[in-house]
Structure 1
Amino acid sequence: MLRSLYDWTMSLAGKGSSERWLAAIAFVESSIFLVPADVLFVPMALARRDRVWRYALIASVASVLGGIAGWLIGYYAFETVARPILEFYGKLDTFDHLSQSVDFSTIVLLLITSGFAHLPPIKVVTILSGVAHVNIWLFAISAALARGSRFMLLAWLLQRYGESVRDFVERRLTQLATAACMAAFFAFVAYRYIVH
């Protein structure tokens, strides 16, 4: 099923309505969809490098709005909507583990690691934020910074290096994700235990 979702998403990049599809996928990725918006964003940006910043802005705004939708699902409809979604994707155990010790600084760390390395999936973080009753405005600002930074960095890399960055990322995705998570973890530890 995952492969067919991926192939379908990739096929959207060549359509005239690709910007609307990018916004829709970035929105639903943050609350219910499994395939990340990157699989549409990257081919679109490579095909039209003159529009890469426009695409990054569309993906960022839609992703944050989708995150707010995920927050609302977690806050108001966990049992009826969120639990079945998490069970369907096999993420309920991850969610239950994370929900044991959640505060705002944990959510910020999860937004960063999810934004840059998809660990954990963004939908888990957004729903968890609502369940934990994290302040919606703080959540929205943090999500905008984390998700916006991710898409803007990807846009800059794609505009500057084009196809070669795609090859590099695909070959070294695990190492890059691990490095991003380690950096975020150490930044969190420094903030939590050294600054305070």
Structure 2
Amino acid sequence: MKIFSRLYQQVMIWSMHRHAPIYLSLNSFVESIFWPVPVDVMLAPMALSKPKRAWYYASLATVFSVLGAGFGYLLGYALWDPVVQPFIATMGYEGKIDVARHWFEEWGIWVIFIASFTPIPYKVFTVTAGLLHMLFLPFVLVSLVGRGLRFFLVAGLMVWGGVRMEAKLIRYIDILGWLCIIAAVAAYLILSN
């Protein structure tokens, strides 16, 4: 099934929209709290379609993602019982929060860096950091470094690869899309056990 190639073409059209930086900023903010769509889905095509603005886009993604992380932290810190916990229960994420707590106990602040840089659901760790009353300044600094590294790496790869990378990406987009789905399901199964 070639659904990812059609989706890719649509995302490339959206990435050139005049309001794309606003959409990227909003997506970056809410993805750090609850939104399931990764920032990279918008950032990569935006950097590819306008390479001269790639660093600006990476900066927007970083700043708004860390602002969203701060908001997620505050939700976990101040509104766990009345707001977050019922939402977590409704979504069936109790197991993920338990895993996040365990990882915090085992790795401390490093878990924020790992979650901010890798595809692990960062939102779970932003809220859990607040719930566990992690020191806010180290949380923000580590988030800034991890998110910045990730988003500048994505933008840099798009600038570096340019048209050649896009041609290869288009050729293999459906295979890569299905591999990402499989990886996401595997990560979910691992985190939920």
Counterpart in 1 of 2:122?
122
Cα distance 1:103–1:36, how it changes in 2: closer, same or farther (>3 A)? same
The answer to whether the Cα contact below 8 Å between 1:27 and 1:66 also exists between their aligned partners in 2 is yes
Aligned-residue CA RMSD in angstroms?
3.0
C-alpha displacement of 1:104: 8.9
User: In the TM superposition, what whole-angstrom CA distance separates every residue of 1:65-90 from its partner, at most 9, and x where no partner exists?
Assistant: 00000100000011222224434544
Match 2:96 to one of 77, 94, 109: 94
Counterpart in 1 of 2:160?
160
C-alpha displacement of 1:19: 0.5
C-alpha displacement of 1:115: 2.8
Letter in 2 for 1:148: G
Cα distance 1:153–1:24, how it changes in 2: closer, same or farther (>3 A)? same
SS state at 2:104 partner: coil
Letter in 1 for 2:124: V
SS state at 1:102 partner: helix
Give the whole-Å Cα distance in 1 for the aligned partners of 2:141 and 2:79: 22
SS state at 1:15 partner: coil
The answer to whether the Cα contact below 8 Å between 1:32 and 1:85 also exists between their aligned partners in 2 is no
User: In the TM superposition, what whole-angstrom CA distance separates every residue of 1:3-32 from its partner, at most 9, and x where no partner exists?
Assistant: 9xxx6x947423211101111110000012
What percent of counterpart residues are identical? 30
Structure 1 residue runs of 5 or longer lacking an equivalent are 178-196
Letter in 2 for 1:116: F
SS state at 1:33 partner: coil
The answer to whether the Cα contact below 8 Å between 1:46 and 1:158 also exists between their aligned partners in 2 is yes
C-alpha displacement of 1:34: 1.0
Q: Give the aligned length.
A: 169
Give the whole-Å Cα distance in 2 for the aligned partners of 1:97 and 1:16: 40
Q: How do residues 37-116 of structure 1 correspond to structure 2 at under 5 angstroms?
A: 37-100=39-102, 102-103=104-105, 105-109=107-111, 111-116=112-117
Match 1:14 to one of 10, 13, 16: 16
Q: How do residues 17-36 of structure 1 correspond to structure 2 at under 5 angstroms?
A: 17-36=19-38
- TM-score by length of structure 1 reads 0.74
Give the whole-Å Cα distance in 1 for the aligned partners of 2:68 and 2:103: 24
Match 2:176 to one of 151, 171, 175: 171
The answer to whether the Cα contact below 8 Å between 2:72 and 2:123 also exists between their aligned partners in 1 is yes
Give the whole-Å Cα distance in 2 for the aligned partners of 1:12 and 1:104: 41
User: In the TM superposition, what whole-angstrom CA distance separates every residue of 1:146-172 from its partner, at most 9, and x where no partner exists?
Assistant: 000101111111110125278379739
Structure 2 residue runs of 5 or longer lacking an equivalent are 184-193
Letter in 1 for 2:123: K
Q: Which structure exhibits the higher relative contact order, with contacts defined as CA atoms closer than 8 Å and separated by 6 or more residues?
A: 2
